[in-house]
Amino acid sequence: MHTEVWYVSYGSNMCRDRLGAYLLGGRPVGARQSYVGARTPSMPLEDVPVDLPGRLYFAGESRTWTGGVAFYDHDAPGSWTAARAYRMSVEQFADIAAQEMDRLPAPGDPIEKVVIDGLENGRHEAGPGHYETLIELGRRDGLPMLTFTAPHGFDAVEHTRPSEAYVAMLARGLYEARGWDRHRAEAYVLERC
């Protein structure tokens, strides 16, 4: 049984300060809402850039940023997605997932049990919402690499353009994780709109 995981972010949580709002509490720069933070408020000590098979796309309307919301289609062929993996406790991962699912972090969150028991066939749908589908992307250092996305894929929904504030937050995360300059990072994001 593992007590840690790699949380893999392909969206705004690639930015460390943005992730900090979910872990420590607060409001990210440019966001329209604040977050309570995790039950164990600490930042990950380790993170790495990762390349994922599959496709980043934007759909729906973000309550936090306005404009399109970033989603990841693990099964979309012929593309790749830049991401950042953070090593953290299963509890912290569940608390981030809860806040992404518009719930408050709480002891006994069912996501914790699902993660500890392992995702059957590498996938678990906690519900029909935006970030309620968990996907295991492989292993690193013997720990599962997990992300969450929507249950729909790239071809199943109409795509929408992300707001400037959201694009800026993703670009900041790409700079932090990969050292990409603003032009390259923004071009990467906008090519996927």
Instruction: Give the C-alpha separation, 43 to 115, whole Å.
Output: 20
Burial call 81-114: b when 16+ CB within 10 Å, e when fewer? bbbbbbbbbbbbbbbbbbbbbebebeeebebbeb
pLDDT recorded at residue 12: 96
Per-residue pLDDT at 2 = 78
Structure tokens at 174: 């790409």
Quick check: pTM over 0.85?
yes
Domains of the chain (ranges, CATH numbers):
4-191 (3.10.490.10)
Q: Supply 20's token pair.
A: 């900090």
Residues of the chain falling short of pLDDT 50:
none
**How confident is the model at residue 117, as a pLDDT?**
92
pLDDT tens figures, 143-164: 999 999 999 999 999 999 999 9
pLDDT at 1: 64
pLDDT at position 178, please?
98
Amino acid letter for position 24: L
Q: What is the pLDDT of residues 127-143, one digit of tens each?
A: 888 899 999 999 999 99
Region of 115 (left: φ > 0; alpha: ψ -120 to 50; beta: rest) is: alpha
